[in-house]
Each structure stands twice: as structure tokens, then as C-alpha cells.
């Protein structure tokens, strides 16, 4: 199946090394300004999709792991996780994209807003926003303070729209945010404690 790959291995560190600290995120530009700048952003070729918010791209001769910024998709093994992954494959699988980069996350992945040409061939589509609109992702409000208020507002509005229309993961009676699901998955069952 095209675009399928196992989750990348964690970054190997010597036991004496402390966990990495994410550098301060670069401030993003307002939405109107971004539209005129997309073509100046780093261009990359999508090589693999790991899940709904993580992909591997080729930038020149380098391979870079990208984490879609300010959104969080359900994990593999979680309800809607596979749907989110296939949604991202459909949007960007094998395509050339442009990256608005913001620095690294705690796992060494490059945080970015990804842009891809719209089907009309003229306009650019914000993939992070599209994943929210399609009901494949939650907005990460605790992690989007580097975005200008107009872009925060748009993400919130798109999520509210998807939720009100029961689109994607919002069609489930009680969808569990991935950050809560990950936390619960790390805890042993009550009877094992």
C-alpha cells in the first residue's frame, strides 16, 4: 500500500543525555501574508506518511520528519486513527509540498504548516487546516500561541464547524482526544496496579 510505513524509531540517546528541550517556536505570519509567501517556503517531496500528523519528506538530499503544527490526530490503534492517516495520504502522499517551519518538537521532528497545490492548480491549500476541516484532527490550543490570532481563530472556527456537522471523528458519540488517549494507554490497568 502506497504511503504505508511503520512508525519511525525514537531518537536514540545515550543514557547520560537529558531529554531534548524544544527550542522556542518561530512566530508565524498572519494568514493574508502567508498566501503571498507560500512559494518562498521550503519545498519538499513527501516520501512517507506515518500517521495523520507525521510525515517524512525529502528536502534536497536530506530526509526530514515533519509534525503538522498546532493539530493532533488520533493515533494508530485509536478510533479514527487509520482514517486520519489515509486522509493525509490522500492530501499529500507522493506530492511536492511547501513547509512553513517553526522549529523542532521534543522528539526532534520539524514542526510545520504544510501547503499543497489545490486541485485547481492555482491556489495553495493549508493541509493542517484541511485536516481539521475533514474531521481528522483536534486543534492543539495549548501549542498554537506562535500563530497570529487570525490563524488561531480560523483553526478554532474550522474545528467548531466539523464538530457541529459531525464530520470525521466528530461522528463518534464521544471522541477521545489523542493526548488523553496516549496518557491512558501509558497507565497500567487498574487491576494490574
**Torsional sign, CA 176, 179, 182, 186:** negative
Give the CATH number, domain containing residue 136. 2.40.50.90
Instruction: DSSP for 35-56, please give it.
Output: HHHGGGSEEEEEEEEEETTEEE
Residue 21 lies in a domain: no
Is 109 catalytic? The answer is yes
pLDDT tens profile 118-158: 988 889 999 999 999 999 999 999 999 999 999 999 999 99
Confirm whether 24 is domain-assigned.
no
Q: How far apart are CA 54 and CA 48, in angstroms?
A: 9
Active site annotation includes 2: no
- Active-site residue (options: 75, 100, 101, 159): 75
Of 2, 7, 63, 67, which one is the catalytic site residue?
Answer: 67
For residue 13, tell me if it sits in a domain: no
Is there a domain that residue 105 lies in? yes
Is residue 47 one of the residues assigned to a domain? yes
Report if residue 84 sits inside a domain: yes
Identified catalytic residue from 100, 101, 109, 151: 109
pLDDT for the residue 8: 55
- Residue among 13, 12, 116, 129 nearest 57 (CA): 116
Q: How many CB atoms lie within 10 A of CB 184?
A: 9
Distances (CA, A) of 151 to 3, 88, 130, 146: 29, 20, 13, 10
Closest alpha carbon to 48 in 8, 107, 78? 8
- 40-44, 53-57, 82-86, 119-123 — which is least confidently predicted? 119-123
* 66, 112 contact by CB (below 8 A): yes
Spatial distance between the Cα atoms of 110 and 90, rounded to a whole number of angstroms: 21
pLDDT tens figures, 90-106:
999 999 999 999 999 99
Tell me how many domains the chain contains.
1
pLDDT score of 168 more than 90: yes
Residue 55's domain comprises 31-182
Is residue 108 in a domain?
Answer: yes
Amino acid at each position: 500500500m502506497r504511503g504505508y510505513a511503520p512508525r519511525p524509531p525514537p531518537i536514540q540517546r545515550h543514557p547520560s543525555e537529558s531529554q531534548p528541550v524544544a527550542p522556542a517556536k518561530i512566530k508565524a505570519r498572519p494568514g493574508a501574508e502567508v498566501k503571498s509567501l507560500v512559494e518562498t517556503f521550503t519545498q519538499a517531496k513527501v516520501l512517507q506518511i506515518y500517521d495523520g500528523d507525521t510525515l517524512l519528506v525529502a528536502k534536497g538530499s536530506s530526509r526530514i520528519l515533519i509534525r503538522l503544527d498546532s493539530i493532533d490526530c488520533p493515533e494508530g490503534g485509536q478510533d479514527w486513527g487509520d482514517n486520519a492517516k489515509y486522509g493525509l495520504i490522500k492530501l499529500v502522499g507522493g506530492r511536492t509540498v511547501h513547509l512553513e517551519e517553526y522549529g523542532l518538537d521534543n522528539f526532534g521532528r520539524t514542526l510545520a504548516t504544510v501547503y499543497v497545490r489545490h486541485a485547481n492548480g492555482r491556489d495553495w491549500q493549508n493541509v493542517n487546516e484541511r485536516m481539521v476541516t475533514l474531521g481528522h484532527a483536534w486543534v492543539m490550543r495549548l501549542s498554537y500561541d506562535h500563530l497570529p490570532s487570525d490563524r488561531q481563530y480560523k483553526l478554532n472556527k474550522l474545528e467548531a464547524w466539523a464538530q457541529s456537522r459531525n464530520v470525521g471523528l466528530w461522528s463518534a458519540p464521544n471522541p477521545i482526544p489523542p493526548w488523553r488517549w496516549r496518557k491512558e494507554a501509558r497507565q497500567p490497568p487498574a487491576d494490574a496496579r
